[in-house]
Amino acid sequence: MQWIAKRSVLLQPGIRTFQLQRFYSTSAQDDPWPLPLPRSLAARQGLFLLALPAPPSAWPAKLEFASPLLSAASQVFKRNGLAVNAYYDGSGAAEHLPIEEETYPARLLFPDGRTFEYPEFRLDSLQDHNVMRDANYKPDPVKALATSSGRNVTGLQEIFVCTHGARDCRCSDRGGSLVAALRKEIERKGAVDAVAVREIAHVGGHKYAANAILAPSLDMLSNLTAEHAPALLSHIMTGRPLRSSLWKHWRGRYGLTEEQQGELWHQVDPGEAQTVSNAAGSSVRIRFETFEGDIKEVNARLGDSLLQIGKENGLPSLEGVCGGNLECATCHLYLPPTGSPPPVPEPSEEELDMLGYAIDYRDGQSRLGCQVKVTQELVKWIEDGGIIKLPRY
């Protein structure tokens, strides 16, 4: 596999000047990720989507740089616990972004099917009282956990497939093939009024491409190929029955907490239930190493984040200025593989994005302390010689 530096951006000139470098794969020849996939979707209340007027082929790697509206919406809605993304519905013909005077259709989707539509969303919509009221909508958690027994579903179903090739060619190669296969299958089944396929910006992690979000359920599925098109259509048109083979591609659901996602997985496959520790709150010892090499062994509670532990124990460099909302990267730390890889879930797409702003980012080691929880498995890893390293303060 070949990797290249895709971009280099100068941030914060003056006091803390550093260069941001992210690396992107240039190869589409990656091994398929083994199934079932890690269920690592960060808990989000719902999903805000902006419909861009340009197709994914015109999108730059970082869409927020090309759309001030998307950037502003992202800042506002993420504070409300929403995920934010952009998609193309096939109707716009702009050749590049940004365009002046951004006014796009937008939607707020919640996992119980509640949808708020904004035909003309623009910057001042973010001050609109009604929009902010919608953003605070709380979906019904009991309804959201339910899965269908297999009856036919009425109403439009949507499949948002990531085809964001400027971000990573795996997304456009695998996502593009899936989009084409789905559209063909929808035609063949005569389901054009029942199912729509959209193209969405980066989501789910490039190595798991093709990634797709289903609406209205807001389930995320990964590691899909064009061959999955018939099964995927059947999955959504029959109400996502528990027997569906597509469940092993499930990464999580927007609008549910990690515990609720774990419970849902238990309904789908009790034998593969996600471990939910019944010992949350128990006191354990974990070990950090400062940038200067000082070892700090501290008390921690199972279930707490590494950021919480760091702050409670006054560890240097773990600032956490955004309070764990994935908006600052000041909780950056390293989990280097020492003997065995650290037993922590894969970073979410939001965490990966924010890690792009971490100073002294290390591929395969960097994590955000606000997103990594203390588990018995992590404690055991530390007992066996693993260590959490802190960056330069």
Chain residues that interact with ligand FES, rule: CB under 6 A: 307, 320, 322, 324, 326-331, 354, 368, 370
Nearest CB to ligand FES, comparing residues 224 and 331: 331
CB neighbour list of residue 255: distance below 8 Å, 6 or more residues apart: 44, 45, 46, 47, 110, 111, 112, 139, 144, 218
Nearest CB to ligand FES, comparing residues 191 and 322: 322
Residue 73 beta carbon to ligand FES: minimum distance, rounded to whole angstroms: 19
- Could you tell me which of 206, 268, 217 has the C-alpha nearest to residue 239? 217
Residue 190: how many CB atoms within 10 A of its CB? 8
| Cα–Cα dist 31/50, whole Å | 32
| Cα–Cα dist 333/351, whole Å | 12
Residue 369 beta carbon to ligand FES: minimum distance, rounded to whole angstroms: 6
Residue 351 beta carbon to ligand FES: minimum distance, rounded to whole angstroms: 8
Nearest CB to ligand FES, comparing residues 264 and 286: 286
Residue 99 beta carbon to ligand FES: minimum distance, rounded to whole angstroms: 31
Residue 347 beta carbon to ligand FES: minimum distance, rounded to whole angstroms: 11
- Could you tell me which of 196, 195, 204 has the C-alpha nearest to residue 175? 204
| DSSP designation for 252 | E
CB neighbour list of residue 323: distance below 8 Å, 6 or more residues apart: 370
Nearest CB to ligand FES, comparing residues 328 and 382: 328
Query: What is the side-by-side strand order in the sheet with 250-253?
Result: 115-121, 104-109, 46-51, 82-88, 195-200, 157-162, 212-215, 219-221, 250-253
Nearest CB to ligand FES, comparing residues 244 and 366: 366
Nearest CB to ligand FES, comparing residues 203 and 331: 331
Residue 333 beta carbon to ligand FES: minimum distance, rounded to whole angstroms: 10
Nearest CB to ligand FES, comparing residues 218 and 306: 306
Q: In this chain, which residue has its C-beta nearest to ligand FES? A: 370
Residue 68 beta carbon to ligand FES: minimum distance, rounded to whole angstroms: 22
